Structure 1
Amino acid sequence: MTTPTNQNAPLTYDQAGVNYDLIDPLKVAAQRAAAETGANLASHGFSEVLASRGESAYVVDVGPMYLASIVECLGTKTLVADEMATLTGKSYYDSIAQDTIAMAVNDLITVGATPLVVQAYWAAGGSDWFGDKIRANALVAGWKKACEVCNVAWGGGETPALAGIVADGRVDLAASCTGIISPKTRLSVGDKMEAGDAIVLLASSGIHANGLSLARKLAERLPKGYLTDIGNGQTYGEALLAPTTLYSPVTEALAAAGIHPHYCANVTGHGWRKLLRHPKALTYRITALPEKTPVLAFMQKECGLDDHEAYGTLNMGAGFALYVAASDAQRVVEIAQGLGIPALVAGRVEAGPKQVVIEPLNVVYGADELQLR
């Protein structure tokens, strides 16, 4: 691995090749064009839930229930798995499979949906990629196991060999997920969110699947690369490859308990700025922080990120946010923890300008720091 000239210089997501200022305008343009197609549903006797435009999943009113759908790409976490396989001789594709499904399922459930069907998209740089039986079997086994955790059917998928598009020896993984919102009162698109609601944060298992470009760039700076001990006896590579937490068991358990979140946010790209996702002008005040996972604490230190940059880029220990009635907050924590997912009542929604205020860190994200619509 190459070593930068100045190892003490801060390393940011932008320097790692990911610039949301360039990416987000295309997303906004695509959303506006897509919005013009919503009227096409009327010819089939259906209509879109307009408030789902710009949310993490798209919702269609099909009469007795809502239909929700999403497609998500894993990103570059496969590159870490490939490098670690070379270094250790182990396959990590069972975990990578869960990461891919989590990217789709964790987005789908933000709108109150029960996931039903997952489809796979595995595009390799050549047919030879599929010939590695250990890796291929790990991917299949991990995919099936994640489906069982989420109680969804694996409907099928696509396995193209795309030489010249995908690099030789590499794979691009993605998943789509379809679900229903039934009864319709489970719909969660923020219309019920209001001042006084509590913000409950569910713990992450690590970096999940966002921030890997930065993580890989950091590996180039570390003398031992992915084999660097992060301080707890775990290597950097192993810590990065902890599978993303699947949160649908929590949202399904909440529904069974009669608790319907007013809004949800999957804390992925943009880090805690994602707490600003809903267009309402409200202040999200955070008064308690979840514990940072060791790998994220290690990354913040080694990359030289201040809190504003770190929490605005990485999940920093919080993988999913639930905005619920204050009277339900403690019960939400108990249900999540009963399923093995640490949770805490981290703050509240207040009347005021659109911003996230992280009081313990003296960090503020204004409305202009997240432009997704």
Structure 2
Amino acid sequence: MQSTSQPSSLPSTVAASVAADTSTLSYEQAGVNYDLIDPLKIAAQRAAAATAVSMTGRGFAEVTASRGESAYVLDVGPFYLASIVECLGTKTLVADEMAQLTGRSWYDGIAQDTIAMAINDLITVGATPLVVQAYWAAGGSAWFEDKLRANALVDGWKKACDVCKVAWGGGETPALAGIVEAGRIDLAASCTGIVSPKDRLSLGDHLGAGDAIVLLASSGIHANGLSLARKLVERLPQGYLTEIDPVNHPGLSYGAALLAPTVLYSPVTEALAAAGIRPHYCANITGHGWRKLLRHPIEMTYRIHTVPPVTPVLKFIQEQARQDDHEAYSTLNMGAGFALYVAAEDAERCVEIAKAQGIDAWVAGRLEAGPKRLLIEPLGIEYGSDDLQLR
């Protein structure tokens, strides 16, 4: 498919080189290889599991099934506590480039992205987020001299906390010259939540054949796949200012579309709890794309019959990176940012509740007895147990 970008403002030799590159661009080529990263995660999980004995001496116990899930869960008696820490990644680099190009700060949305990375993981286990802590590590004290940018980060962080009804407990703002590059900032958030009553815990104990898969809409790329998205800029004649869809979204640049803030899904999970709906399992669709639907170790077949619309920026990335559906759906969220596995009789109600919170949703599939695999039938895609190794 031909690019819809505007005529190049680059030198003709550079523009010709950009236009001539029609090879497939994968996530691994952009510098991210999960085959190298995931084994370290597994080794860390095994080492960490041996530390759980420390809790027994204090009268508490870990919930063993939470090992390898998106959040760690601790049994403290009348309720469970859940905790998570997450790094934003490289989305700040896009914000910095767009600030140079547009003259505006994008850090209000970056703040929401950072909190969403933690909270959207925490709620997968059925937790209500309570407290968020900030980690803002700059490449030097000079980063904070830009008051517009710094205030946008503070304001956006506070606003995201208000949306999720969490307390901002505090944080750390180190200046790490020599570790973090000058002029850059590394953002992360930790979050603690409570699972109360205890039957809200959703670690897949009740997951089984006949359950429905409800997918919640994403706002775009969220905060995963940015290494690929940034690498793709090298192919675009106008870089981040390239229009992604001049016909249907005139004026929407690639950079602005990438910086659409990540959806905060905790209002949906809290509304489900208030309605008495207990998901059997949840998955935050981040790194590994739709393969994350296979996260639980249970041997089941996940059959998708309805695929949500792909957001314009993700469609643009797939087209410009020349990725087929199998590659794209294994890397990006492709329009679905969160998955709920619920009893079939609760599925349509889940959709209604999500829409009432302003987030589109679809009853997208079901679980069946069979080998562990994900079948995305409308696209002819299949992923097996070997395609996701997180434990």
Helix, strand or coil: the match of 1:72? strand
Distance across 2 between alignment mates of 1:356 and 1:297: 21
Note the alpha carbon deviations across 1:186-208, whole angstroms, 9 max, x for none: 00001110000000000000000
1:79 is matched with which residue: 85, 88, 93? 93
* Residue 40 (structure 2) aligns with: 26
Helix, strand or coil: the match of 2:120? helix
Cα offset, 1:215, TM superposition: 0.2
Note the alpha carbon deviations across 1:288-317, whole angstroms, 9 max, x for none: 010110000000000000000000000000
Note the alpha carbon deviations across 1:3-59, whole angstroms, 9 max, x for none: 569510111100000000000000000000000001110011000000000000000
Note the alpha carbon deviations across 1:195-239, whole angstroms, 9 max, x for none: 000000000000000000000000111010000000122000000
Distance across 1 between alignment mates of 2:313 and 2:161: 26
* Residue 320 (structure 2) aligns with: 302
* Residue 246 (structure 1) aligns with: 264
Give aligned-pair identity as a percent. Answer: 76
Distance across 1 between alignment mates of 2:21 and 2:94: 21
Structure 2 residue identity aligned to 1:222: L
Helix, strand or coil: the match of 1:108? helix
CA contact (8 A) 2:19 2:235 kept: no
* Residue 180 (structure 1) aligns with: 194
Matched ranges for 1:125-274 at <5 A? 125-231=139-245, 232-233=249-250, 234-274=252-292
Distance across 1 between alignment mates of 2:203 and 2:20: 46
Helix, strand or coil: the match of 1:274? helix
Structure 1 residue identity aligned to 2:74: V
Helix, strand or coil: the match of 1:69? strand
Distance across 2 between alignment mates of 1:269 and 1:4: 27
Report how many aligned residue pairs link the two structures: 373
* Residue 369 (structure 2) aligns with: 351
TM-score of the two chains, using structure 1 as the length reference: 0.99
Q: CA RMSD in A?
A: 0.9
- Confirm whether residue 286 of structure 1 aligns to residue 286 of structure 2: no
Structure 1 residue identity aligned to 2:81: L
Structure 1 gap segments, 5+ residues each: none
TM-score of the two chains, using structure 2 as the length reference: 0.94
Helix, strand or coil: the match of 2:57? helix
Distance across 1 between alignment mates of 2:271 and 2:189: 24
Helix, strand or coil: the match of 1:313? coil
- Confirm whether residue 322 of structure 1 aligns to residue 331 of structure 2: no
Runs of 4+ more than 4 Å apart = 1-6
CA contact (8 A) 2:218 2:335 kept: yes
Note the alpha carbon deviations across 1:246-289, whole angstroms, 9 max, x for none: 00000000000000000000000000000000000001100001
* Residue 338 (structure 1) aligns with: 356
Distance across 2 between alignment mates of 1:282 and 1:53: 20
Helix, strand or coil: the match of 1:71? strand
* Residue 364 (structure 1) aligns with: 382
Matched ranges for 1:27-42 at <5 A? 27-42=41-56
- Confirm whether residue 62 of structure 1 aligns to residue 69 of structure 2: no
Structure 2 residue identity aligned to 1:308: H
* Residue 4 (structure 2) aligns with: none
Cα offset, 1:69, TM superposition: 0.1
Cα offset, 1:112, TM superposition: 0.1
Structure 2 residue identity aligned to 1:257: A
Distance across 1 between alignment mates of 2:77 and 2:372: 34
Structure 1 residue identity aligned to 2:366: R
Structure 2 residue identity aligned to 1:292: V
Distance across 2 between alignment mates of 1:206 and 1:242: 6
Structure 2 residue identity aligned to 1:168: A
Distance across 2 between alignment mates of 1:98 and 1:5: 35
Distance across 2 between alignment mates of 1:35 and 1:165: 30
Alpha-carbon spacing, 1:6–1:19, altered in 2? closer, same or farther (3 Å): farther
- Confirm whether residue 102 of structure 1 aligns to residue 124 of structure 2: no
Distance across 2 between alignment mates of 1:120 and 1:308: 36
Structure 2 gap segments, 5+ residues each: 1-9
